[in-house]
Structure 1
Amino acid sequence: MSIKEEKERSLHFIEEIVEADLKAGKHESILTRFPPEPNGYLHIGHAKSIVLNFGLAQKYGGATNLRFDDTNPVTEDTEYVDSIKNDVKWLGYNWVNEFYASDYFDTLYGYAEKLINKGLAYVDESSSEEMAEQKGTPTEPGRRNKFSERSIEENLRIFREMRDGKHPEGSMVLRAKIDMKSSNMLMRDPIIYRIKFAHHHRTGDKWCIYPMYDMAHGQSDSIENITHSVCTLEFVPHRELYDWFIDKLEIFPSKQYEFARLNLTYTVMSKRKLKLLVEEGFVSGWDDPRMPTISGLRRRGYTPKSIRDFCDRIGIAKRDNLIDVSLLEFFIRDHLNKIAERVMVVTDPLKVTVTNVPEGHIEECIIDNNPEDENSGSRLVPFDREIYIEKEDFLEDAPKKFFRLKPGGVVRLKGAYIIECDEVIKDENGEVIELKCHYIENSKSGQDTSGVRTKGVIHWVSQKHHVPAELRVYDRLFKEENVSAYEGDFKDLINENSLEIIKGYAEPSLKEATQDKKYQFMRNGYYVLDDNSTTEKLIFNKTVGLKDSWNKK
């Protein structure tokens, strides 16, 4: 977003809060955080949160911490930690501190004892079923059990035994003692510590008790002096508990603010569901180009700028809504149009013999890399006697407004000559298999003095010098627009035709293709070299078409 656009855009409600806090002198500067749980790969929904948190810090001269919420040793892995850090950096952001909730395990344990000493926490040995029944319903108050009447001394003793591994997993938990009649079910004596004999990716086997999310989240914010703790709307009910802990523990008063999460059409934004897609083989991995993960979007050819611009455009709201994925595609298409190198790749070849080109003759044609960028330079593409064009670029019985090749008709070959079709060759089934054409003298692009006018320009490749390539063309991963609204198994909605593999015939410059470059396959779409591509087998992923064609289907 340009400076002018930034000034013209009205403030969203979180920016208004930040500006009011700074103006009132509540904070000298702001400190935000991005706190992912390392139990999966980040997706486009996380990108919205990243852009918001880091963007706020950048705009108001503050900073952002990257904190891993690693309080569940069963689901977390260093693979996810590494992927998250890579994704944040790729999006263009740097954090001032890298923290882990596990860094605070000793402090959080001390907080738990403090609550016990204040008579605000107790060890409960009820079963999960008993606790659920005692908790009541949204319309009926809950009730406490006999364990809530334990003395402070007994609670401390048993909690320390839990810490020392003297009680089996699932046998007891530590609960905050708040209000069993609260209209907010989360305030009805929530569990704040549980026993888990599991190896932690950072602390190893030091701990066998682990804090619950609400026991770690706000307190970690407070420990780091986070000024504005921004999270999505599903955490609105947690805010009361967030504030309760800060108040009772008498710690730095971080404040939680909520915004609407990103919901995108034709996909899912649940790490649990995305993990199922990977584990059950519906996709090739977390970075499958059909996935909404940041690594999947990167492999498909999306740019950091396109994702940041998309997140800025959809804005920050207080109500959930469903964003059309075509808007995301608009931003990548717009960016790629400016930066992608134009190259020629034929996918459904029809042989053309240019009869007035001598056998063995090769001529180099100069083609601009990107007409949108005058500094992008040009390249040489070999033109010789036998070339391939797209089958659809020839019609034997062409309508009047067909401006490509037809018997007796002329068309310009991109960067090369105007050719005229002299003869159509068919096989025994009557299918056209070859065209005999001649090129018009003095009609070479950039040097044309032939006086022949054409209305059509088509791409082509040399039959002899082309490079074979595999093109992977992607469709929506799901057949339904609003997958989350489906009441059955979401996997029933998977589009079994979401991947099409096409054989391509590419101009020889693509032998030097690299993953950091973006390409427009002329008159086809935007592509990027796949991670699994080799010099022996070029593989390109289609990022997006030249135009939005989905709504026409």
Structure 2
Amino acid sequence: MQVKTRFPPENGGHIHIGHAKAAYSNFKFAKDHEGTMMIRFDDTNPKNCKQEYATSILDDLRTLKLADETTKISYTSNYFDLLQEFAVQLIESGDAYMDDSSVETIRQNRKICIASKSRDNSVDDNMRLWKIFASKSCENNLVLRAKIHMQHKNACMRDPVLYRRCIEPHYMTGDKYNIYPSYDFSCPILDSIENITHTFRTIEYADRTDLYFWVLDGLALRKPILQLFSSLRFDYTVMSKRKIRILIQSGILDGWDDPRLCTIKGLIKRGFTVECILKYVDLMYLSTNNTKKGTYPIMVSMNATMLENKAHRYVAVEKEHAYLTIFDSTIEEKTIEVDLHPKLSEFGKKNVKISNNIFLEGKDAATLIVGEEITLMNLGNVIVKYICHFDHSLILAPKFDGDFKTTKKKLHWLSSEDCYEIQIAEYGHILKEEKLLFNADKSIVARCINDASTKKICCYVEKSLMNVTAGMHVQLIRRGFHIMDVTGKLIRLPDVSKPNVFSVYHK
């Protein structure tokens, strides 16, 4: 039998780095064994699942090169009728029963191993209640539960819920169904009938392995090989779809592609390359060691290494603190050509204008003293003749034939006649605590939110940057790597070598 794996995301939101690891593990295992990976959307929750999320997930998987037009796609909702038939089969065999206990009662009784009063219902009673349960007129608080063992040492085996009611219209099936299967019920069945040979689950679902095989045994279905691997999570951010929705609705996050998130869209918007994401998750391929703290800087460093020989170099000067600088004697105004990359001439050149009025970085000007000789990159040496910190002005004397090896300061600069303004955004942790916490009334604990997680500055940049299109990476001299956003602003990438309050990893 040909190897076949599946990636089964719930289309109730966008996928994140943890999902990327899971998808990559399934994809790589199948590829290494000359098999295929399919995608199955777990759309059993009408309240959250939407087609737009399924479309977005497919888009992300194609961006990551983990899916293409040949990838088989299915939806759990394609099998709702069949799943109901299997549920009836369990009722008829005495392996499932209808229960009208409240959600809270079921939850508490499972904790203390107390059986429901409905557990000993006859098959006939359960079938009668099932028909009521599946009807549109049902008003009872009914659920279908597996009849396993209420004293089982594994809490997941204490008669879990297999079906529950939901009156919300389903985005695919409308109001055709009022009852929906649990993931623990539908997943093993579909793995079997869709001919999945190997299923991979994160270790956090280890306790549900017994239930997975109980369902297959009870229905006499073929069993795939099941293997556990570690989950991948980061602290000081939010990865739960439910919590992300809350933060978006509260206006704390801008959307699922907010650069402070570890969603695939958020990471790419932040400037992480597809190659980096894939290489990063490959480091943990099918690992059983939970990967969490301390790994984000690895991905940041990996991304920077990949960009080192790809990103064109440009100059930016922060507008608020810029020093308008003039030369004490008229210099020849001209345009020179400078390599877009200092080590890779094949990248081509950019035009740099030399004029009598230039901008210097404020933090650089603050270190200068009168009489000091410094080097202006791609121009030559100059001597500081006059400084006025009050009005941010400088006067320099040209000494372009000076030896740059003798100066300690090599500064970047911009012609005031050949630049334009651009906004640069820097992002940091969305959380000040490791995890997002909620009060008893379900409101967000205020101390968890980092109100200083976003900073925006205005910079002067050379006009040649106008040739950079959305999605392109650049390196601003002495400012690090950035990515051009679709809005025309630059987003600064995190930098492990220069940590600051806007770095998104935990020190």
TM-score, normalized by the shorter chain, greater than 0.5: yes
Q: Work out which of the residue numbers 78, 91, 101 in structure 1 matches 2:76.
A: 101
1:14 match: none
Query: What SS is found at the alignment partner of 2:226?
Result: strand
Q: Work out which of the residue numbers 329, 350, 354 in structure 2 matches 1:379.
A: 350
Alpha carbons of 1:59 and 1:458: their partners in 2 closer, same or farther (altered >3 Å)? farther
2:115 match: 143
List per-residue Cα deviations over 1:532-553 (Å, max 9, x = no partner): 23xxxxx111112372425998
Query: What SS is found at the alignment partner of 2:77?
Result: helix
1:191 match: 161
Separation in 2 of the partners of 1:208 and 1:344? 60
Alpha carbons of 1:250 and 1:490: their partners in 2 closer, same or farther (altered >3 Å)? farther
Q: Work out which of the residue numbers 233, 248, 264 in structure 2 matches 1:263.
A: 233
> 1:117 aligned to 2:87?
no
> 1:459 aligned to 2:412?
yes
> 1:83 aligned to 2:56?
yes
Query: What SS is found at the alignment partner of 2:309?
Result: helix
Alpha carbons of 1:153 and 1:282: their partners in 2 closer, same or farther (altered >3 Å)? same
List per-residue Cα deviations over 1:392-450 (Å, max 9, x = no partner): 2234xx6xxxxxx54223333222333222233x2xxx63622222333557xxxxxx7
Computed over aligned residues only, the root mean square deviation of the Cα atoms, in angstroms, reads 2.5
Alpha carbons of 1:260 and 1:235: their partners in 2 closer, same or farther (altered >3 Å)? same
> 1:440 aligned to 2:399?
yes
Alpha carbons of 1:390 and 1:441: their partners in 2 closer, same or farther (altered >3 Å)? closer
Separation in 2 of the partners of 1:441 and 1:127? 83
Mapping for residues 15-54 of structure 1, pairs under 5 Å: 28-54=1-27
Conserved 8 A contact 2:301-2:496 = no
Separation in 2 of the partners of 1:442 and 1:123? 90
Q: Work out which of the residue numbers 456, 462, 470 in structure 2 matches 1:501.
A: 456
Conserved 8 A contact 1:120-1:176 = yes
Query: How far did residue 35 of structure 1 move?
Result: 1.0
Query: How far did residue 352 of structure 1 move?
Result: 1.3
Query: How far did residue 209 of structure 1 move?
Result: 0.9
2:47 match: 74
Amino acid at match of 1:523: R
Separation in 2 of the partners of 1:388 and 1:457? 14
1:5 match: none
2:428 match: 475
Separation in 2 of the partners of 1:433 and 1:149? 85
Separation in 1 of the partners of 2:105 and 2:393? 79
Alpha carbons of 1:454 and 1:203: their partners in 2 closer, same or farther (altered >3 Å)? same
Query: How far did residue 457 of structure 1 move?
Result: 2.3
Structure 1's unaligned 5+ residue stretches are 1-27, 399-404, 444-449, 534-538
Query: What SS is found at the alignment partner of 1:256?
Result: strand
> 1:354 aligned to 2:324?
no
1:254 match: 224
Segment of structure 1 superposing worse, 298-307 or 151-160 = 151-160
Conserved 8 A contact 1:365-1:415 = no
Conserved 8 A contact 2:18-2:233 = yes
Separation in 1 of the partners of 2:193 and 2:469? 44
Query: What SS is found at the alignment partner of 1:322?
Result: coil
2:183 match: 213
2:466 match: 511
Alpha carbons of 1:483 and 1:548: their partners in 2 closer, same or farther (altered >3 Å)? farther
Query: How far did residue 216 of structure 1 move?
Result: 1.0
Conserved 8 A contact 2:24-2:281 = yes
Separation in 1 of the partners of 2:53 and 2:362? 46
Structure 2's unaligned 5+ residue stretches are none
Conserved 8 A contact 1:524-1:545 = no
List per-residue Cα deviations over 1:374-399 (Å, max 9, x = no partner): 4322211222111101122234xx6x
Separation in 1 of the partners of 2:79 and 2:393? 73
Report the number of matched residues: 495
Separation in 2 of the partners of 1:244 and 1:500? 53
Separation in 1 of the partners of 2:477 and 2:92? 71
